[in-house]
Chains A and B, each alone.
Chain A
Amino acid sequence: MLGHTGVTVREAGPGDAVGGVLPRWVARPESVDEISVVLAACADADLAVVPAGGRSKLGWAAPPERADVLLDLSLMHDVLEHVAGDLVVRVQAGIPLARLAEILAKAGQELALDVPFPEATVGGTLAAPAPGPRAYRYGNARDLLIGVTVVLADGTVAKAGGKVVKNVAGYDLGKLFTGSYGTLGVIAEATFRLHPIAADRCWLTFECEGWEDAGVLMRSQLEPSAVEIDRPAVGMSMVAALFEGPAARERALVARELLGGGEVCAESPPWWGRPPGEPLHSLRCRVAPHIPDGVSVRGSLATGVYLASGPADLDAWRSELPGHARLVGLSGEVTGDRWGPNPSLPLMRRVKERFDPGRRMSPGRLAGGV
């Protein structure tokens, strides 16, 4: 198989299915060149390709219209360059974030992304971003990404950005590919801005009934790195705020005074940064959201980005949410329209047409058949 390319290929098994669609082969490239060779070969044969990393979110979004080759990037797991003095790291896309964190920690640094799935890779985190608590302070994957190498459906290898944080030369293809779910091409390598690991971390947690707006914390100058809510389907909700830095504990104590109570501790609560369960929905809402019976919600009161879980008719739920809110079915059985409104869909379609006119890259995984 793939004899002339030398890329490792095996027949796909049931465990390789993507949203119920079984590909024929699994290809395991070990370099950017090998990705390019595989994609060029797939272009020649009109085979559809779905890139995969740690597979923690492979079932998210819509199933592909077709999938012939699962492009498994797990052999591309190296740190290519880490210059601690520049607070920058360049990695292959298949490296798991947990492994990267271990390596960076040795230099007292971190990629400041809280990832809800420990096996998630860098590539998967960019292609299918999941919210994490500290996005409030450090931004999301797109904000920390400073350079990218991608391989397009025709095998073209292209890079954008670089390895300096401040850089406005050319279009930011890295950002464009963030959230692309494999539909524009393959993210092969990525370069990130790093942060020093905070000297100290401290959480303030308190219970509340239903919802809490945490406005007191947001209006204060205590600069929490994250303010999260865990609102289970049944029972009391819990809010937790994270403080980082040399005076973390002092700030947490001041926050407790402001709120008139709560518990200050050095450990995160067990639910912190973990997805609430299956099926999983993405909810973005800047005010207290209506939550249907049986649904639990976790996420950031600071950014209004949440993960929700539980049986829900998404259309019915949307009708109860304010106009600006967005609700998207990520995984599991979806009742109603998975996507909801997306005003930029016409532009997404045009980008897709230019990058993948043959519709071979994860076709149909996003809204509107993109």
Chain B
Amino acid sequence: MTVIDRLDALFPPDRVITDPVRLRTYECDGLTYHRATPMVVVLPETTEEIAAVVKVCAEFGVPFVARGSGTGLSGGALPRSDGVLIVTSRMRRIISIDLDQRRAVVEPGVTNLAITEAVRDRGYYYAPDPSSQQICSIGGNVAENSGGAHCLKYGFTVNHVLALEVVTPNGEIMEISEDDFGYDLLGAFVGSEGTLGIATKITVRLMRAPEAVTTLLAAFPNIEAGGQAVSAIVGAGIVPAAIEMMDALAIEAAEAAVACGYPPEAGAVLIVELDGPAAEVESQLAEVIAICVGTGSFEQRVAASADERAKIWKGRKSAFAAVGRISPAYIVQDGVVPRTSLGEVLAGIDALQVEFGIRVANVFHAGDGNLHPLVLFDDTAPGEGHRAEIVSGRILDLCILHGGSITGEHGVGVDKARYMPRMFTDADLDTMQRVRCAFDPGGRSNPGKVFPTPRLCGEVPRVRKGSPGEIF
């Protein structure tokens, strides 16, 4: 009896995939340069089915990886060739919507945008908005604690998930909720990148749509001036829904791809979105425009309609894909720096471009210091990929040096696990490992992600022994 035999017995044939050609579909997520073919893929339709698969994995000591839409950018859903890939794409029901209590209960395969679409006509929405929101799954958002452009004001997935039903790595079905008295297990689970179990039902907060939304595009001669505007806006006590910045190279790429019509002579553009009660938005918009002009902006466009707003956002949202037009290959980084260090870090990135002869396009969530440097290279040119890797790593070093983080929203996954020791000490990582061991003593839930070569759960750090008498 093998794992596959057992799964065949549990599921109809169309929901267990072992055909090598079909397995190829699942060999990577949005981070395409890490690939592995899973031993088997299962397509469960219920929580109980997921629990059954996980129990089979426990019985055979086989690892499992959960996958939603596979849009992650850190290889969090990279399969294991010796393991089971559990794909939640058939779990797409919105189970309930309660507008009075402003909450919805959904299955993990539901897309992020589908939640908003289900309530938009009644004036509500789900706030976290990763760029992939049309296709990314809410289960994946929970695993990665996804952000998005608007998390500057509204927070991340963890601030909008109210309860979860999870299948633990032992195959138990458990509920964790913000209502639980005691440890914030919900907060620990969200963002654990699939290493603590699989979320099978997700209760999310719905928000009342704001009365007014306004979007401003401001063009600056250079990125320093744009950065000064960001600091001044925040310093004025304004919390915009989003503040995004793109540099000249990113603007060039976006223009080539989607003809977004940003001012061609701009060295940087800033997109500032304000939302809230109309009276508040109006007064803050005037203040933001004055700040931009005062810091050197030579052109400001305010979207007068939803269409115009979409047009402004189009350039920003297509930036990653657009870079493909000006470079055969690229690496996306996701480092974060304190807002006040933005200028220094960007200057540091400039210096790296010169030192290594590698171009970097900068697209970032300026309001919260989350950089998305796109490190461009030609994968057919000998050595260029390697140099791009080095530049990429050096950018993360810069972020850490300035007190930031190696990842703001994409997650650690397989991609950045090796950088974790640059940000955390062994004691920090061992302490996180205690959480892992509490949930997953067998280390079967998405192993190899987040942590570099973790200690096994049986291994206990040294135990101190001494004589009580001499202490007090």
Contact = CB atoms under 8 A, between A and B. Distances in A.
Contacts of B276: 223, 245
Given A158-B428, A218-B208, A347-B176, A168 B191 contact: yes
A88 B393 CA distance: 26
Contact of A158 (B405, B407, B431): B431
B9 interface: no
A167 B192 CA distance: 12
Contacts of B235: 84-85
Contacts of A176: 183-185, 187-188, 435
How many residues of B sit at the interface, in one of the four size bands? Answer: 35 or more
Contacts of A284: 179
A354 B405 contact: no
A234 interface: no
Interface stretch (A148-156, A259-267, A268-276): A148-156
Contact of B237 (A162, A197, A247, A353): A197
Interface stretch (B132-140, B277-285, B311-319): B277-285
A51 to B, nearest CB: 15
Contacts of A108: 237
B180 interface: yes
A173 B432 CA distance: 7
Contacts of A218: 102, 208
A297 B277 CA distance: 31
Interface string B447-462: 0001000000000010
B299 interface: no
| Most central of A41, A215, A247 by chain B CB within 10 Å | A247
B198 interface: no
Interface in B334-372: 336-340, 365, 368-370
Nearest to A11: B472
A169 B412 contact: yes
A355 B434 CA distance: 7
A42 B369 CA distance: 42
A117 interface: no
A164 B467 contact: no
A351 B208 contact: no
B210 A223 contact: yes
A2 B276 CA distance: 56
A85 B468 contact: no
Given A45-B468, A250-B279, A351 B403 contact: no
Interface in B220-275: 231, 234-235, 237-239
B338 A164 contact: yes
Contacts of B175: 343-344
A55 B159 CA distance: 29
Nearest to B451: A170
Given A155-B464, A180-B182, A344-B185, A164 B408 contact: yes
A367 interface: yes
A299 B71 CA distance: 41
Interface residues of A, number: 95
B428 A170 contact: yes
Contacts of B337: 164
B184 A179 contact: yes
A319 interface: no
A195 B239 CA distance: 8
Nearest to A68: B472
Contacts of A282: 181
B29 interface: no
B155 interface: yes
| Most central of B187, B231, B276, B470 by chain A CB within 10 Å | B187
| Most central of B179, B337, B425, B429 by chain A CB within 10 Å | B179
A353 B191 CA distance: 22
B270 to A, nearest CB: 17
A169 B416 CA distance: 9
A166 B408 contact: yes
B423 interface: yes
Contacts of B238: 196
B148 to A, nearest CB: 10
B465 A44 contact: yes
B192 A247 contact: no
B156 to A, nearest CB: 7
A317 to B, nearest CB: 15
Contacts of A165: 368-369
Given A152-B431, A160-B432, A143 B277 contact: no
A264 to B, nearest CB: 15
Contacts of B190: 172
B310 interface: no
8 contacts: A152-B431, A163-B403, A171-B188, A172-B158, A223-B210, A250-B279, A344-B175, A370-B182
Given A86-B338, A163-B338, A168-B191, 8 more contacts: A41-B466, A166-B151, A169-B412, A169-B416, A169-B424, A196-B238, A344-B174, A347-B439
Closest 8 CB pairs of A and B: A175-B187, A196-B237, A247-B279, A44-B466, A45-B468, A158-B431, A221-B211, A167-B405
